[in-house]
Amino acid sequence: MSQIIALTLKNLKKIGIEHEIPNITEENAEFLKNLISERNPQHMLEIGTANGYSALHFSLALSESSDLVTIEQAWNMHTFAVENFKNCKVKNITAIWWDAKKILPKLRMEYFDLIYIDAMKKEYLEYFLASLTIATAYAVFIIDDVEKFRDKMEDFYEWLHDNQIPYKIEKTDIDDSIMIIERKDVVLWDKFS
Ligand SMILES: C[S@@+](CC[C@H](N)C(=O)[O-])C[C@H]1O[C@@H](n2cnc3c(N)ncnc32)[C@H](O)[C@@H]1O
């Protein structure tokens, strides 16, 4: 890791604590980086950039030919994240300032092979459904904070249950857990009835 990225990550973590920005924990970042290295996605998508802390971590695990698109709806967060990516001279991150619910349907179909969801908990079902068409057939969805904020995403859990979609929950740190869903397991029978 370059010194500037290491320093920026350290600084962002400090700013995150001071300003109560819910950045991923270091344990979670390490877990996700290992998962990225294993899956080696060509095109990764993050929903919820905040100050760019997680995106910077992810960029370190992506291969040289891979890229990350990250979406943030708060202008101040987006501009701060962009400044951080520029300062770190990271070239494989594209930051989009927009409401994810509105921009997701406009993104390229069957393009992203790893989709990380970490934005407004009560909107998880909307992000997930809007991401299905832009995911490749073998994409993986990583959905953050699924235990601590379960009450805010009951509609998402219900939808998974009603559609019999299998998922795995990994305890990545003492704080919370992530959910892993394989796109190939998302079979929506009612589409064909
Ligand atoms: C938990 S924070 C993201 C933390 C970041 N992934 C990290 O670990 O460094 C969630 C972010 O999602 C953003 N957000 C909330 N609703 C959104 C939406 N509909 N579209 C895009 N971003 C959204 C919030 O402004 C906030 O900055």
- pLDDT tens by residue, 78-134: 999 999 999 999 999 999 999 999 999 999 999 999 999 999 999 999 999 999 999
User: Cα–Cα distance between 43 and 59 in angstroms, integer?
Assistant: 11
Tell how far the Cα of 187 is from the centroid of ligand 1, in angstroms: 28
pLDDT at 175: 80
Tell how far the Cα of 23 is from the centroid of ligand 1, in angstroms: 9
Contact assessment for residue 74 and residue 93, using Cβ atoms and an 8 Å cutoff: no
- pLDDT tens by residue, 19-35: 999 999 999 999 999 99
- pLDDT tens by residue, 135-183: 999 999 999 999 999 999 999 999 999 999 999 999 998 888 999 999 9
Q: Whose CA is nearest to atom 27 of ligand 1?
A: 50
Asked if residue 193 has pLDDT above 50, the reply is: no
User: Cα–Cα distance between 14 and 16 in angstroms, integer?
Assistant: 5
Strands 93-97 and 67-72: parallel
Secondary structure class of 58 (helix, strand, coil)? helix
Asked if residue 191 has pLDDT above 70, the reply is: no
Strands 177-182 and 168-171: antiparallel
For ligand 1, is residue 54 a contact (CB within 6 Å)? Answer: yes
Q: Whose CA is nearest to atom 11 of ligand 1?
A: 48
pLDDT at 42: 98
Q: Could you give the maximum distance between any two Cα atoms of the chain, in Å?
A: 56
Tell me the domains of the chain and their CATH numbers. Answer: 3-185 (3.40.50.150)
Strands 112-117 and 168-171: unpaired
pLDDT at 174: 85
- pLDDT tens by residue, 44-93: 999 999 999 999 999 999 999 999 999 999 999 999 999 999 999 999 99
User: Cα–Cα distance between 91 and 38 in angstroms, integer?
Assistant: 22
